[in-house]
Each structure stands twice: as structure tokens, then as C-alpha cells.
Amino acid sequence: MTVIGIGADGWDGLGPAGREALRAAEVVLGGHRQLDLLPPECPAERVPWPSPLRPAVPGLFAAHAGRRVSVLASGDPMFFGIGRTLAEELGADRLRVLPHPSSISLACARLGWPVEDTEVISLVGRPLASLARALYPRRRLLVLGAGAASPAEVAALLRDRGFGPSRMRVLEQLGGERERHLDGTADHWHHTPGDALNVIALDCAPAADALRLSAVPGLPDQAYEHDGQLTKRHVRAATLAALAPAPGELLWDVGGGSGSIAVEWLRTHRACAAVSIERDPVRATRIGRNAAALGVPGLRVVTGAAPGALAGLPTPDAVFIGGGLTAPGLLEACWAALPAGGRLVANTVTLESEALLAQWYRRHGGELVRIAVAHAAPVGGFTGWRQAMPVTQWAAAKPAEGETSP
């Protein structure tokens, strides 16, 4: 089948190959907006996408087997488009893709921004909160709007996250006859909702009192809502270093507390995934709020006590145990769940759990370290060191079957 990218300029913007494929097609699938752009000279049956789309794809194409099928997509089908879904569901070898300039390329052309230096966030089918992860001073972002209300929603999120001074430019109907640009700041965004087809350009600028969030683990403790169950900043940074996240990997955060380890694992790369397991329902709800506030609303929260709550979860690449180490069978269940090469990191401040970690260190090797942090604090009219409780940390990688631990 041929997958044809089409822009707001419609039929006039298509190349010869795309026009030929559409004229020859017996069936054309696409969204209502794309299908409405076709002229009468395309005689094919026009089939709009069903909702939800992905589960219907195999049956939809099976129903049209043996017919010449073309698919219409917005802009570049392989850039936040239907092309990815079709390749994953049907196989890339069945597709012939004819891309159109994407809205991102058109937006960068209008703004004079280099495409390779511009981060893109799509809100189409994705939560607004995911934008928060990309907010840093002086960053340029392009946000693919999910509808006419998206600019106002983005402005509200920027204000809430301390980025109200950021410049916002909304580019509607890019490449079409009705192209329009709007300008303003998030603090003073008073434009009424316009066209549903929009891209939002952001020049990120924090307010003077905005909390600075780093691109690396070790966010300020104030970034989290918590009840005291929080892996503190310096220990958190050391813990993420031991967990060693990589793109596409999955973390189990066992005994989530405030969710800080899982949240900062997810913030390392957009392809990372995490499950936070927390037995207290109030804390579990709080973890979800922290994840949304810090731009990783995809964090999955499981309410229940481990090891029982671990049953049925997808295989992790790494496991962090931040609480409940002495629960019967917990360490055994987490170790057994890991594949070869998977990492387990456990922190504790109690002598009982420390003794348990020492046993596992003797059995499986790895690293057993003690992390001590002291903060300068007033001592009368002077300043001295106030020691936090030291944290014992065991970190180990699971050997392949037949190998022995070092």
C-alpha cells in the first residue's frame, strides 16, 4: 500500500507520485480532514479511520485485501504519524511511503530555527503534562497541538510551572491558504481559540522565582510533594547512577514513597518506562501527582505490597528497592524477575536491612557502599556540619545463566 503525506495545501501540494497513487487507488483511508482534501478526480472509496485506531488496523486492511489501497497522512507519515502504526502492525515491507514536508519543517522555516536543534513534543493523543519535562531556560520547543484549545492549555501549564515569561507563537494551517500566526507570552495569552491544526513555538524563559530543575538526576527535594518518605537529593543522584538507565529500559521502583527514583529514571530519556509499587494508597496517589508535575505522566503506579504486587508486571531491566527490604521473599522475587545483565539497587538506613544486604553482597557480589551526607547548619553563632542518617546501598548486575557472580 502507498502511504501519502498531505499538507494543508491539499491536492496542489502533492507530487506526481502521490497524485498517481491516489488516482489509481480503489480504497483511500485517512482522517476526515485529509479525505476532504481529495478532488472528484479520485474515484476511490473513502474510508475514515475508526476509533480506537490501532486495534482496528489488522481487520481493516484484511477487509480490503486484494484491492489497491492508499493511506493519507498529515505531513510526514513517519513523524508522529500513522506510518509508525502501520509499520508496526502490518510490517514495513508492505509500505511505500511518500512524505510531505512536516509541520515541524514548515514551522522551522517560518521561524528561522534549525530543525536539528529544536525539540518536538506532540500533544496529539498524549497528556499535556508531558510538556513539563522539556522546560528548560532558553530552550526552543515546537509543540504539536491537539486542537484549538491547545495554545491556552500550554500557556496555563507554563504559568503553573514557573515559565510564564516564555514567548509563544502559534502557527495555524501551515502551508495552506488560511495560514495564520499568533504571538504573545504565556503570562499574557489572551487569544481566543483558533484553528485546530496548530503548532506552538516556545522560547522557554523561567520566572525569577522558578525552581531550577536539572536535566540530570538529583532534582531539589522541594520539587516533590512528600510526607518525609523521599530519597534525598544527593542519595537519589547516586542511586540513579547505580541504576544506570538507558533508552527504552524499564524500572521497577519497589516501595515508591514519593516516586522520586521512578520519576528521575523517566526524565533521563523519553523512551524509558517505569512502574512504581507502593502499598499506601495516599502515597500512591501522591506519586502520580509528582510524575505529572515533573513531566512524566506515563509513570505506572501499582498500589499494593511487594512481593505480591509484583506478579504480572513486565520484566524489568532494573529494580530499585527503597523500602520493605526485610519483607519475606522480596529480594528473592526481585532478583528472580531480572534478566541476565539486569541491575538491582537497594538502599537502607536500618541495621537489620544492612545485615541482609551484606549477605546478598557475599552471595552475588556487586558493590556495597555507604553514602554519608552532611549539611552545613547554624551552631549557635557559628556554622557546623549536621549529619544525615547514612545510607547503605547494594548494587549488583545479574549474571547470565551458568556464570558466577564476581
- Give the DSSP letter string of 102-152: -HHHHHHHHHT--GGG-EEEE-TTS-GGGGGGG--TT-EEEEE-SSTTHHH
For the chain, the first-to-last Cα distance in angstroms comes to: 53
pLDDT tops 90 at residue 122: yes
pLDDT digits (tens, 9 = 90+) for 311-340: 999 999 999 999 889 999 999 999 999 999
- Give the DSSP letter string of 241-272: HHH---TT-EEEEES-TT-HHHHHHHHT-TT-
pLDDT digits (tens, 9 = 90+) for 152-179: 999 999 999 999 999 999 999 999 999 9
Q: Are 253 and 316 in contact (CB under 8 A)?
A: no
DSSP 8-state code for residue 343: E
How much is the average pLDDT of 337-365?
96
* 3-state helix/strand/coil string of 145-178: CCCCCHHHHHHHHHHHCCCCCCEEEEEECCCCCC
pLDDT tops 70 at residue 402: no
Q: Are 200 and 154 in contact (CB under 8 A)?
A: yes
Q: How far apart are CA 181 and CA 184, in angstroms?
A: 10
DSSP 8-state code for residue 221: G
Q: How confident is residue 310, by pLDDT bands cut at 50, 70 and 90?
A: very high
Q: How confident is residue 400, by pLDDT bands cut at 50, 70 and 90?
A: confident
pLDDT digits (tens, 9 = 90+) for 198-229: 999 999 999 999 999 999 999 999 999 999 99
Average pLDDT of the chain to the nearest whole number: 95
The predicted structure's pLDDT at residue 251: 98
pTM: 0.91
Q: How confident is residue 401, by pLDDT bands cut at 50, 70 and 90?
A: confident
